[in-house]
Amino acid sequence: MKKTVLSTVSLLMLAEAIGAAQGEDPARLIESPLSAGNLVDTGIGLLLVLGLMLGLAWLVKRYVQVPGIGKGQVQIQGGVSLGAREKAVLLSVEGRRLLVGIAPGRVQTLLVLDDASVQEVSFADQLEAASDQGDPMRSGDQA
């Protein structure tokens, strides 16, 4: 028993000596876990870890091609709202365009078009055609 007390006292004295040698107060060897410095350090570490996770998720989403994720065979070409809860959506699926009606609890194909039957016209061509139709001076009857 006497030996145990002596070893405990010597360990405590050694701990005080180490603490005093490092320039700390020997009476206070353990800092409170709820101090402002510890809370700020924990918050900064948490923000760094969250930022790292978000950055890695963005990199994986941008550069890693996983089959079945990302752009698939079905692409949405456009859509229009027909009412409070109804929509018409134009989809492109394997060389075909589908006009689909969407309502709560129901999706219905309205029209099926082949991509070959739909000719792409640029906006500039459409604008030129519209301005030719609306401007009588541009027709061949100029003086």
Is the same domain home to 51 and 114? Answer: no
Is the same domain home to 101 and 78? Answer: yes
Is the same domain home to 81 and 139? Answer: yes
Domain range holding 142?
71-143
Is the same domain home to 46 and 87? Answer: no
Give the total number of structural domains in the chain: 2
Last residue of a domain, one of 44, 62, 80: 62
Is the same domain home to 80 and 142? Answer: yes
Last residue of a domain, one of 62, 93, 113: 62
Is the same domain home to 13 and 76? Answer: no
Is the same domain home to 56 and 88? Answer: no
Residue of 132, 89, 134, 97 whose CA lies nearest to 116: 97
Is the same domain home to 96 and 44? Answer: no
Res 20: pLDDT: 56
Is the same domain home to 93 and 126? Answer: yes
Is the same domain home to 76 and 40? Answer: no
Q: What is the pLDDT along the chain (143 residues), one digit of tens a residue?
A: 666 666 776 666 666 666 555 555 555 567 677 888 888 999 999 999 999 999 999 999 888 876 655 556 788 888 888 888 999 888 888 778 888 999 999 999 888 887 655 556 566 666 677 667 655 555 555 54
Res 143: pLDDT: 46
Is the same domain home to 78 and 56? Answer: no
Which contacts of 131-136 are long-range, i.e. CB under 8 A and separated by 24 or more positions? none
Is the same domain home to 81 and 15? Answer: no
Res 49: pLDDT: 97
- Specify the amino acid at residue 87: K
Res 51: pLDDT: 97
- In this prediction the pTM is 0.35
Res 52: pLDDT: 97
